[in-house]
Amino acid sequence: MRFLFLIVFFSVLHSTSIFAQSRRVIDLKDGWKFSKGNIEKASQKDFDDTTWETVTVPHDWAIYGPFDKEIDKQTVAIEQNGEKTATEKTGRTGALPYIGDGWYRKAFKLSELNKNEKVLLTFDGAMSQPKVYVNGKKVGEWNYGYNYFYFDITDVLETENVLAVHLTNQGESSRWYPGAGLYRKVRVIVKNKESIDHWGTFITTPMVSKDIAKINVKTNISGNNLKLITDIFDTEGNKVASNETTTIFQNQFEQNIPVNNPSLWSPESPYLYTAISKLYKNNQLIDEVKTRFGIRYIAYEANKGFSLNGQVRKFKGVCLHHDLGPLGAAINTSALRRQLRILKDMGVDAIRSSHNMPSLEQLDLCDEMGFMFLAESFDEWAKAKVKNGYHQFFETDVEKDLVNLIHATRNHPCIVMWSSGNEVPDQFGAAGVKRAKYLQDVFHREDPTRPVTVGMDRVDQTMKSGFGALLDVPGLNYRLHLYEEAFEKFPQGFILGSETASTVSSRGVYKFPVEKAKMKQYDDFQCSSYDLEYCSWSNVPDDDFVLQDDKPWVIGEFVWTGFDYLGEPTPYDTKWPSRSSYFGINDLAGLPKDRFYLYRSRWNTKDETLHILPHWNWEGREGETTPVFVYTSYNSAELFINGKSMGVQKKNHDSPQNRYRLMWMDVKYEPGTVKVVAFDDDGNPTEEKEIHTAGKPYKIVLEPEKQILKANGEDLAFVRVSVVDKNGIPCPKATNQLNFKVSGEGIYRAACNGDATSLELFHLPTMKLFSGQLVVLVQASKQPGDIKLNVSGKGLKKGVIHLKSIKN
């Protein structure tokens, strides 16, 4: 069986430019009024909302807490985790107050419309079940909180308008923290009635070569006797191609435009073109849409695997939930960019949105920064995982939800695969096979250029039923022992690790003795960062590495997860106060755990990696066995403790446990200096690193990830905060309570220390260090100028840093 997909994509309109005689795009961001509760008559235009809280959108009402073990306490046996007996889960959805009703109201003005204009109200997502009113009249509703949707509100508009949105979040509706509110953008689009349809353009490349690319542009329009001109520009702004047509097939223009000597999009070179589509009537411009796109082609072939632009490669991917740690579910582009920058340094080249439809901002950034994308849709089909999950809406909503997902995002070059579901209980039985085929057919009908997968955890069942055989790409979630059998039985000729590892760890926390362990628990509700602990259904990273490296028919992996996320605190989901995950390669603050360097040593092929663990502050363990691990891209290294050699270790290809890590298991702790010297393949010393035993905390150190911000009221500076002793050595076990103050043209936005058990609220300007570190988020105002962050703590020399915000 062979699947070949040739495609070029563009990003749907995301500019707020006003095109003459065409359209206006207005972000409804500031000046919203918000209140919780099911408030009678709040939908009416003249309702008095003056006492309500004033917020900006995107907004997540639940992230401000408090954390409470009684919130969404679920008594359940998690079938996906192999549980047979129901137990009380206190932090499964983050223990944050997302449940209940919320109202948003926004007044906005529009200049008087002429008879040829129409107005669309668009939502990139609303959590959840929004009912939308304009001037007291209901204009529509939508159920799925992760979906994009829009309504035509032309007929209910006045010069001065009031938009009201009622949201309802049910308890037991999610397996992780879903967030709450208008957590993605809301916009108004004013355009002519005769115009390019919303999400109405689809660009593919039926043929791509080194010399030429054939770009097929299908543009759906409303109107008659129209002309469409499409101009294509390269990244420097030079026009490289153009086409004009007046031929309409039903309501669609179709253009074939050659681009000579195309620059192809890839993670290594994410080249983007710009297309400007201009619609004319009687030679008068009536609509204009600017888009970005990238030229590339993909293929999935039996016994060969996945290729991009003719080059076979394997996905080096991670799964990401949608929350942004201390910001909650509210979308913020600079926070998303930071996540991707961290992952890029790790060597990641692919993202799986799990288990939700991605934000448009995330896809834009993946286009720009070079990440392939597996866009997922649902965590449930018709059979329930949680009491009030998507199964409530599957029969009535699934097709329209999929159509909106595909139409809104199908033109992004980053997307190389769709997923119609994750670990759905429908994997059992004939009905599930039919549902899988139905959903895959919807994807193929709306976008015949990409394959479809499902994250399967019941692989033994899907091998028997035909469920796995019908998928374009068979995705296995864990089940490493079934890879060989699945490859033999499935006809596709390849296997994707759609979800892998689920290793658990807490940043900077190390447990003894050091041993491989499944579902291990400790009194402090932390997991060991020796990276040998995992879940009942999963494994350590090394087990996946072996399959990825040794089996050419395994086409890559998506590790669970790139970052910790709120909710699902396995293996402590029955323990309070655990309220966020331990799966992340980076913690909830975006600080790398030791595992980051294990993956980096394999995936980042441009930069060398040399990392030592654990830290070397073990007062009371003198003379006790304290193993030292080194994660490195080098094949061998020598370890020294206070100048004494502990010997040379070499990676052993024949031993999975020693193939990817260098481990000195018999080291006895003594305070001082740990040094590792790495050797090149010829045995020559080439790089070294040291860690030292620290004294008492003395001074606060601030390290901003950037110092120049955009003065747009949204841009964020992430500042790493740590403490050092009098000699400048980091104190890895410090837990000092710190206080934060921001002055100038910025505000304190949040802080996070990455501790899954912390009940401190992110938005309050105080927090304890965890394993010696935390991160402070400083947000720029809308005015350019200087910003100062002051961090203080009892008995510590304070830290001060100066930032600057500038005009866009």
At residue 79 the predicted structure's pLDDT band, cuts being 50, 70 and 90, is: confident
CB-CB contact of 552 with 546 (8 Å): no
What pTM value is reported for the model? Answer: 0.96
Whether 423 is a known active-site residue: answer yes
* Mean pLDDT to the nearest integer, 163-168: 98
* Mean pLDDT to the nearest integer, 547-561: 97
What's the whole-number average pLDDT of the chain? 95
Integer CA distances (angstroms), 390 to 261, 322, 393, in order: 46, 17, 6
Q: Count how many Cα atoms sit within 13 Å of the Cα of residue 200 in the half-sphere of its side chain.
A: 19
Per-residue model confidence as pLDDT tens digits over 326-342: 999 999 999 999 999 99
Q: Give me the pLDDT at residue 663, please.
A: 98
Cα gap 715→333, rounded to integer Å: 8
Q: Return the H-helix or E-strand segment holding 701.
A: strand 699-704
What value, to the nearest 5°, has the Cα angle with vertex 332 and ends 327 and 338?
A: 90
> What tokens were used for 684?
């020559």
Cα gap 750→671, rounded to integer Å: 36
Task: Name, in order, each residue with C-beta under 8 angstroms of 249's C-beta and a sequence gap of 6 or more.
Answer: none
CB-CB contact of 791 with 721 (8 Å): yes
At residue 8 the predicted structure's pLDDT band, cuts being 50, 70 and 90, is: very low
Q: Give me the pLDDT at residue 72, please.
A: 96
Catalytic residue among 499, 533, 557, 745: 499
Per-residue model confidence as pLDDT tens digits over 84-131: 888 899 999 999 999 999 999 999 999 888 899 999 999 999 999 999
Task: Please confirm whether the linkage preceding 513 is cis (ω < 30° from 0).
Answer: yes
* Mean pLDDT to the nearest integer, 445-463: 97
pLDDT above 60 (res 3): no
pLDDT above 70 (res 377): yes
By three-state DSSP, how is residue 45 classified?
Answer: coil
Per-residue model confidence as pLDDT tens digits over 13-30: 333 333 336 799 999 999
pLDDT above 80 (res 758): yes
Go through the domains of the chain in sequence order and give each one's CATH number: 2-12+197-297 (2.60.40.10), 30-184 (2.60.120.260), 314-502+538-565 (3.20.20.80), 699-806 (2.60.40.10)
Query: Which three-class secondary structure string do you get for 641-695?
Result: ECCEEEEEEECCCCCHHHHCCEEECCCECCCCEEEEEEECCCCCEEEEEEEECCC
Q: Give me the pLDDT at residue 83, please.
A: 80
pLDDT above 70 (res 489): yes
Per-residue model confidence as pLDDT tens digits over 583-622: 999 999 999 999 999 999 999 999 999 999 999 999 999 9
Name the pairing type of β-strands 636-641 and 252-260. Answer: unpaired
Catalytic residue among 423, 533, 568, 714: 423
Per-residue model confidence as pLDDT tens digits over 429-449: 999 999 999 999 999 999 999
Transcribe 92-125 into DSSP letters: TTTT----EEEEEEEEEE-PPPPTTEEEEEEES-
pLDDT above 90 (res 344): yes
Q: Give me the pLDDT at residue 109, please.
A: 94
Q: What is the CA radius of gyration of the chain?
A: 27
* Mean pLDDT to the nearest integer, 22-41: 95
pLDDT above 70 (res 6): no
pLDDT above 70 (res 5): no
